[in-house]
Amino acid sequence: MTVTPTSRSITNSVLSKEQAEGAGARVRRSIGRPELRNHDPFLMLDEFNVDKNGGFPDHPHRGFETVTYMLEGQFQHEDFAGHKGTIGPGDLQWMTAGRGIVHSEMPVKSQTRAHGLQLWINLPREHKMCEPQYQELLDGQIPRANPEEGVVVKVIAGESHGVKSQVYTRTPTMYLDFKVAKNKTVIQTIPKTYTGFIYMLKGTAFIGDKEFEGKAHHTLTFSEDGAETVKITTKDEDAHFVFIAGEPLKEPIVQHGPFVMNTTEDIYKTFVDYQYNQNGFERAKNWRSSIAG
Ligand code: FJE
Ligand code: FE
């Protein structure tokens, strides 16, 4: 007989060092780095730090979602359909690229530093070519769970301690931002079949029954043993981390930079569509953002 443990444990811990990305931006890559490739359904997680000279000028996406969560500073975005805005501290942009988005993501120039997280979530085959959609929430519109004094969970997607997010996830996903004071224990439930990880932003947390130590800028991946909770303890330091989990798609992944499809044939079609401004890229013709100059 096999016994299901009560808490998931940690199977891997990887440090993300800063690297150059985009145009003069710096990122700490979590999921997507060589040791953490394709953590199905997640493709990439970057902790980005951009000063006023950097950013991510005009570029396309197809076949997945980008979730941008600001921690400090302001980011502006503009796409080829004229959708634009500014994301400030604590705000969220959940962008379903679907069949195609071309956009620019740049810090607001008067700011000294823009700091945040961008997660790439793969889309299941039947949603890869869906109409693009934005779900945008200001900090104050994101619900909080407060299971005990000193523990605050922002529920970006999914559910924590009875508090549910209204974000629609085509790929079932949990995205929780935890701020935990020292000397606390929190139990977070997680569906049996989900894969998941914690990315540490600040301080130290101890995860699972064996209290695996997690420190800032480390990704800690969960065991896939069917346990339905994750036990998290703090000791002599406060901790800030994100808890991200989702249902694996178990589909073939063919990725070429910002295009993620199921087959090489569909990637080839995507290059043709992008080059000839068709099948979702119509508005890319002669478009240039006004913010990336
Ligand atoms: C990129 C394709 C991309 N990490 N973190 C290729 F889409 C990107 C890209 C980003 C990005 C954007 C933000 Cl706002 C935050 C990010 C990659 O836009 F950098 C490359 N090279
Ligand atoms: Fe982008």
Mean pLDDT check: name the lowest of 34-38, 144-148, 189-193, 215-219. 34-38
Summarize the annotated binding site as residue ranges. Answer: 59, 61, 103, 105
b/e per residue 44-70 (b: at least 16 CB within 10 A): bbbbbbbebebbbbbbbbbbbbbbbbb
Phi, psi torsion values for 274, nearest 5 degrees:
-70, -40
pLDDT in tens, 5-29: 799 999 999 999 999 999 999 999 9
Interval between CA 46 and ligand 1 midpoint (Å): 8
Report the distance separating Cα 119 and Cα 224, nearest Å: 21
pLDDT of 53: 84
Q: Is 64 a pocket residue for ligand 1 (Cβ < 6 Å)? A: no
- Asked if residue 121 lies in contact with residue 31, where contact means CB atoms within 8 angstroms, the answer is no
Determine the pLDDT at residue 118.
98
8 A C-beta contact, residue 62 and residue 261: yes
What count of residues does the chain have?
Answer: 293
From atom 7 of ligand 1, which residue's Cα is the shortest distance away? 258
- The predicted pLDDT at position 32 comes to 97
| Torsion over CA: 220, 224, 225, 228 (sign) | positive
The average pLDDT across 154-172 equals: 98
Q: Is 48 in the pocket of ligand 1 (CB under 6 A)?
A: yes
Q: Which of 99-113, 171-185, 269-283 has the lowest mean pLDDT?
A: 99-113
* pLDDT tens track for 81-118: 999 999 999 999 999 999 999 999 999 987 778 999 99
Identify the H or E element spanning 19. strand 18-21
Q: Residue 205: pLDDT band by 50, 70, 90 thresholds? A: very high
Q: Band of the pLDDT at 2, cuts 50, 70, 90?
A: low
Average pLDDT score, the chain: 96
pTM (2 d.p.): 0.97
Residue 173 bridge partners (DSSP)? 246
Find the mean pLDDT for residues 25-50.
Answer: 96
Check whether 180 has a pLDDT greater than 90.
Answer: yes
Q: Quick check: CB of 46 below 6 Å from ligand 1? A: yes
List the residue whose alpha carbon is closest to atom 12 of ligand 1: 56
**pLDDT over 70 for what percent of the chain?**
99
Q: Is 26 in the pocket of ligand 1 (CB under 6 A)?
A: no
- At 36 the pLDDT is 96
- 268 membership: H or E segment, kind and range: helix 264-275
74 to 56, 66, 98: CA distances (angstroms): 14, 17, 25
